[in-house]
């Protein structure tokens, strides 16, 4: 019954979203249904809702997403993003390479929903080479998330190394082929057929100036990242600093050239940048996650399958799909399966192989989830439907997963 109720609730989300119901409201409705189908009372559901709204993580995430939308808006409104990408394009000397690296660079800003910040960048670059919106959305997702197989500051990587009690760099080296494969396949299936606009030759002095310009105009994002990494500040604090820095850049720009005067007060720019529907999406996602976490029967069911002799790899796949897909979280799959599966490994190398299999499967389940916040925000920005996005993944995701399977067989056999 518990698995049936989970499947029903997920399908309800898909139906509501396809009918243009806000993803946040869709998740609230589906989460409520899931709780009711599993015997939770109205009072239980209200308690979960109150705990969700009052939880620091929810408040912090909502603030962070709200500030990301503001930072994205002001950087776009003040023409900072445009100049950041122009300078990056001058440094890389290719629109296609720029659109490949830009989401990854912005993706180092480790925050849920951060893909929203790269949407305007990908949109602008995509227009230059004639990309349709569905490919822009796919590019924004693929080239951002391929980094998370190997980025040492990624929370799932950190969690995996801690729970697995293995050297992080050993794990990253093992994951590197998947990251490279995802980038190469993304380029082949999403960008290969498009031509770069011709570039004029550039003098060394101008090239160096482009590097300086890139550092200046990317500074609001870099400050947001470095403030969190170096000084361990919450992202909503560092994002505030990034917004303030964007305002300072605009003040400086307006003194040099009136074309940077938006004729809009900074307060109004901040107000216009705030997107309530994005915050509602956060509340819906957090509520649905908390409902799933409250239903212990899901986890008990998975444990019973292992006791009945189910093949280890099949259990990992089913478990990751059952856990990471509905929660849109790689960490949830890692947290449950690492302690259960990794002790079965007879050697350190086998343990790394199990860890890779779990991580990649959980990652793919998270990536494909309709609750994946980056996907929700990207679809919202580009006005693309889920099915339009996934038709571009037909080869990229399965082939990337196949690379992992081949590596797993070679390591375990």
DSSP 80-124: HHHHHHHHHHHHHT-HHHHHHHHHHHHHTS--TTTHHHHHHHHHH
Summarize pLDDT for 270-328 with one digit per residue, the tens.
888 888 887 888 788 788 878 877 887 776 776 777 678 778 888 889 888 887 887 78
Summarize pLDDT for 44-72 with one digit per residue, the tens.
999 999 999 998 878 887 888 788 888 88
Distance CA 192, CA 128 (A): 15
Q: pLDDT-based confidence at 86, cuts 50/70/90? A: confident
Distance CA 102, CA 330 (A): 23
- Angle at which helices 80-92 and 115-129 cross, to 10°: 60
Q: Give the pLDDT score at 355.
A: 94
Percentages of the chain per state (helix, strand, coil), in multiples of 5: 80, 0, 20
Determine phi and psi for 38, rounding to 5 degrees: -105, 25
Distance between start and end Cα atoms, the chain: 37
DSSP code of 195? P
Closest CA to 363 of 333, 337, 342: 333
Summarize pLDDT for 346-397 with one digit per residue, the tens.
889 889 999 999 999 999 999 988 778 888 888 888 888 888 888 999 899 9
Whether the pLDDT of residue 11 is over 90: the answer is no
Residue 54, judged by CB atoms within 10 A of its CB (0-12, 13-18, 19+), counts as exposed
Categorise residue 261: left if φ over 0, alpha if ψ from -120 to 50, beta otherwise: beta
Read off the pTM: 0.68
Q: Give the pLDDT score at 218.
A: 87
Which residues make Cβ contacts (< 8 Å) with residue 99, sequence separation at least 6? Answer: 121, 122, 125, 126, 129, 139, 143, 191
- Angle at which helices 312-327 and 2-18 cross, to 10°: 50
Distance CA 108, CA 103 (A): 9
Q: Which of 84-93, 100-109, 399-408 shows the highest mean pLDDT?
A: 399-408
Distance CA 35, CA 221 (A): 39
């Amino acid at each position: 019954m518990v698995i049936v109720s989970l499947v029903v609730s997920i399908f309800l989300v898909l139906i509501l979203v396809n009918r243009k119901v806000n993803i946040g409201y869709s998740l609230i409705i589906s989460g409520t249904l899931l709780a009711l189908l599993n015997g939770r009372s109205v009072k239980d559901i209200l308690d979960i809702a109150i705990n969700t709204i009052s939880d620091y993580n929810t408040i912090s995430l909502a603030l962070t997403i709200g500030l990301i939308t503001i930072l994205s808006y002001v950087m776009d409104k003040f023409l900072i993003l445009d100049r950041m990408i122009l300078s990056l394009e001058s440094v890389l000397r290719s629109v296609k390479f720029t659109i490949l690296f830009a989401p990854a660079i912005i993706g180092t800003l480790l925050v849920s929903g951060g893909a929203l910040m790269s949407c305007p960048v990908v949109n602008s670059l995509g227009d230059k080479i004639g990309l349709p919106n569905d490919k822009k959305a796919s590019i924004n997702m693929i080239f951002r998330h391929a980094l998370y197989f190997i980025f040492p500051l990624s929370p799932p990587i950190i969690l995996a190394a801690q729970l697995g009690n293995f050297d992080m760099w050993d794990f990253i080296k093992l994951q590197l082929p998947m990251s490279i494969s995802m980038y190469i396949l993304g380029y082949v299936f999403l960008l290969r057929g498009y031509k770069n606009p011709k570039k004029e030759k550039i003098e060394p002095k101008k090239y160096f100036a482009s590097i300086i310009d890139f550092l200046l105009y990317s500074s609001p994002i870099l400050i947001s990242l470095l403030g969190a990494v170096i000084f361990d500040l919450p992202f909503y604090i560092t994002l505030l600093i990034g917004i303030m820095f964007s305002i300072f850049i605009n003040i400086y720009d307006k003194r040099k050239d009136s074309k940077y005067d938006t004729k809009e007060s900074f307060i109004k720019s901040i107000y216009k940048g705030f997107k309530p529907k994005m915050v509602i999406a956060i509340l819906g996602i957090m509520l649905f996650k908390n409902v799933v976490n409250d239903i212990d029967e899901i986890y008990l069911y998975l444990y019973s399958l292992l006791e009945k002799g189910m093949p280890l790899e099949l259990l990992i796949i089913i478990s990751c799909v059952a856990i990471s897909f509905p929660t849109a979280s790689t960490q949830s799959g890692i947290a449950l399966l690492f302690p259960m599966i990794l002790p079965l490994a007879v050697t350190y190398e086998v343990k790394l192989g199990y860890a890779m299999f779990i991580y990649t499967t959980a990652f793919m389940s998270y990536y494909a989830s309709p609750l994946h916040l980056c996907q929700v925000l990207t679809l919202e920005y580009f006005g693309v439907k889920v099915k339009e996005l996934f038709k571009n993944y037909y080869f990229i995701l399965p082939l990337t997963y196949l690379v992992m399977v081949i590596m797993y067989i070679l390591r375990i056999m």
